Amino acid sequence: MNRIDTRELAAWLDQTLQPGRFRDYCPNGLQVEGKASIGHIIAGVTASEALLRAAIDRGADAVLVHHGWFWKNEDPRVRGPKRTRLALALGHDLNVFGYHLPLDAHPQLGNNAQLAQVLGLTPDADAAGMPRTCGPDGLVWLGSAPGIATFGELAARVGQRLDRAPQAIGDPMRPVRRVAWCTGGAQGMLADAVDAGADAYITGEISEPTVHLARETGVGFLGAGHHATERYGVKALGQAIADQFNIRVDFVDIDNPV
């Protein structure tokens, strides 16, 4: 099995995802240092205890996730579940790589780009071929849904492609020409999608104020699941690592209904 120096992989990931561009809620990159070289990575959405144990059981050297650790304003004390997770990583010399907003936004490997492929969405592009976006840090993508005429049809496609029914707020007969989307917990960016002229907005989560804003603006809202919309970026990133360095990367999907 081929192996790569941990520092070399960390540098490649930082160069590829450019975390310095984002005002994030957590540190991005190598969050916990483990073995000096890596030949096997377990990729997953969240660095949960279950994912760490899957990595240990499979003899992996690292985990690569979208939701890592050390979030802004969290309790800094190392106890309870946090202690268990850290003890597992340190006790088995596991490297923990986490990329949050940089993985949402990457134009090819990111969650928004990958979700567009899964849902059959076509991103708008600027003169340089980059996706047209709105919202903070350009995290909301804009485009269209070829083959979709109404909000009801869009909701049905999302449910079928993600294998779970989304929470749909809006008139199923509303015509849909312009679509906006941002994976995960981006319900607070609905107003940005409205301002950008979207007919429908797709994200992962929904909150109480979201319903009122969707109803009052007429823009269809789809809460398609945080986990369900963010399975694809880290999987694509893992495949890119495997192709680049010829090391083993396995994606493990720890189901989450949220």
| pLDDT tens track for 54-87 | 999 999 999 999 999 999 999 999 999 999 999 9
On the question of pLDDT at 1 being above 80, the answer is: no
**Are 183 and 206 found together in one domain?**
yes
**Are 164 and 222 found together in one domain?**
yes
From the list 214, 179, 213, 211, the residue with the least C-alpha distance to 197 is 179
pLDDT of the residue at 40: 98
**Are 125 and 175 found together in one domain?**
yes
pLDDT of the residue at 16: 98
Is 258 part of any domain?
no
Task: Please write the tens of the pLDDT for every residue from 26-54.
Answer: 999 999 999 999 999 999 999 999 999 99
Q: Are strands 95-98 and 29-32 parallel, antiparallel or unpaired?
A: antiparallel
Mean pLDDT across the chain, nearest whole number?
A: 97
HEC string for the chain? CCCEEHHHHHHHHHHHHCHHHCCCCCCCEEEECCCCEECEEEEEEECCHHHHHHHHHCCCCEEEEEECCCCCCCCCCCCCHHHHHHHHHHHCCCEEEECCHHHHHCCCCCHHHHHHHHHCCEECECCCCCECEECHHHCEEEEECCCCCEHHHHHHHHHHHHCCCCEEECCCCCECCCEEECCCCCHHHHHHHHHCCCCEEEECCCCHHHHHHHHHHCCEEEECCHHHHCCHHHHHHHHHHHHHHCCEEEECCCCCCC
pTM of the model: 0.96
Is 132 part of any domain?
yes
> Which residue numbers belong to the known binding site for a divalent metal cation?
66-67, 104, 226, 230
Is 257 part of any domain?
no
CATH of the domain at 83: 3.40.1390.30
Confidence of residue 250 (pLDDT cuts 50, 70, 90): very high
> Which residue numbers belong to the known binding site?
66-67, 104, 226, 230
**Are 164 and 74 found together in one domain?**
no
Domain region containing 88: 4-100+230-251
**Are 234 and 224 found together in one domain?**
no
Confidence of residue 233 (pLDDT cuts 50, 70, 90): very high
Task: Please write the tens of the pLDDT for every residue from 163-179.
Answer: 999 999 999 999 999 99
Count up the domains in the chain and report the number: 2
**Are 131 and 219 found together in one domain?**
yes
Task: Please write the tens of the pLDDT for every residue from 201-229.
Answer: 999 999 999 999 999 999 999 999 999 99
Average the pLDDT over 90-113 and give the result: 98
pLDDT of the residue at 203: 98
**Are 164 and 204 found together in one domain?**
yes
Is 59 part of any domain?
yes
Q: What tokens does 166 get?
A: 């989304």
**Are 223 and 109 found together in one domain?**
yes
On the question of pLDDT at 111 being above 80, the answer is: yes
Confidence of residue 132 (pLDDT cuts 50, 70, 90): very high
